[in-house]
Amino acid sequence: SELADGAALGFDGFRTAFHKAAAAVAAGSAKAVTKEALLGSWPEPEPSRMRLAEATSEAVMRDMDLRGNHQADLMEWIHYWALERDSPSYHASKEVNEKLVQALKSDQQVLGRMQMHFETAVGEDAEGAGAGAGVAADASDGAGLSAEGLLRVCQRLRDSPKEVLEKKWAKEVLAKHDAGEGIEEDEAFSYYDFLNVMLGRKRFKVSLYMYDISDGLAERWSWLLLGHSFRGIWHTGVVVEWPEKSSEFWFGGRLFESEPGTTPFGKPLEIRPLGYTHKLRQEAWSHVAQVLSEEFTKANYDVLTHNCNHFSDKLMLFLRNDHIPEEVRSQPEMVMSTVTARALRPALNQWLGGFDKQDGRATDGSGEEARLLWEAVLPGALISFSQVEGGRPIVGEVRNRGQQACLVCSFDLGGALVARRAPRSLLVEVLRPPPPRYPEEDLPEAERLALDS
């Protein structure tokens, strides 16, 4: 199916696929796609795979149905596939959808008009570049809208006599642009980017909270005791300022999300600004709880080789693809060889790696939650997983399980049955247990070894 490779399609391709799916269970032309219609448009699955096919179509329709009426019209269909093509992550798509759901409650037609504005402007860009009308007809194929084109849309809306919802959004974009914020001349905007800007793209301030666990002694005595002069012996937490809540993430045996400045370490000696991230709060916590929680546990805490600063560095790589300051990151290596550090190591490990639950959220510190979840991944179970960090959850039926991944069969978005490797770190949840007497597949040794490679 063409939809299985949505990157190759534009709006016209999405429209063609919609009419095909809508007609799957309706005579003639239908105006909406239902779960049954989507399933009916796919190649008929084997009876043993019907449970998987139904769960997959349900998951797709849940994300597609923005109006909450258990079906998707043409605009919702195009929107779903364009985000599937363009969005940087599932959580990013979800944030855009949450804003659109609220907008649709006050104006049912706003999504269709936004697609019209985008498609018209992309076509104008293509014609202006000499592509010709034939190419411009489906120019919304992922190539992107120019910054000039986006501003042109906003100026048209601002000058329009119609008081529509997106006119307010356009005025806000133009005001930010006039103030020197937001739009750069060489930017290209996908459909996702276009909606994100019009709905109010946000970036969030990131800081490193630096606490001196020596309580001032390091500045006076570190040269004598440790062979280097330090302003502090650093414990760090990464703070992100989201509009709904600011959070401080830190490692102390468990991984914690706390109100900034309320951790057991008191007031930070320094707050170091580290820039901005576009990651959402749930994206950050999902990464902490699902990926980093197995790497940073109470059992493997070590004040010199696997501590809070190593965690802060890993989280910063996720948030901004950048490291924490070198002076913090390299401090443990600089003191590892000293007699004082080795003598204090057991006591510091017990203190700094042994914090119990604080206010806010925390992992269990043992990796036990992740282990129990993985134990429920049995042959025949239906699971939800991602193929990449932050990716759209996929429904799969487990065929076999290794230590670090399982082999699943799943339906692609065109209804074709495919085999996939589901990494343990990207498991979301177990949707349904295996049916009784489900036969475990006997994999060849090479395939079994490949699961954990």
In angstroms, the CA 233 to CA 417 distance is 55
From the candidates 79, 91, 306, 308, give the one annotated as an active-site residue. 308
Cα 319-321-322 angle, rounded to 5 deg:
105
Supply the pLDDT for residue 428.
87
From the candidates 79, 91, 117, 235, give the one annotated as an active-site residue. 235
- Global model pTM greater than 0.95: no
Q: Which stretches in the chain have pLDDT values below 50?
A: 5-6, 28, 131-137, 139, 219-227, 229, 339, 348, 351
Q: In sequence order, which residues have a C-beta less than 8 Å from that of residue 254 and are 6 or more positions away?
A: 298, 355, 356, 357, 362, 363, 364, 365
Residue 308 designated active-site: yes
- How would you classify residue 238: left for phi > 0, otherwise alpha for psi between -120 and 50, otherwise beta? beta
Q: What pLDDT, in 10s, does the model give residues 125-134? A: 888 755 444 4
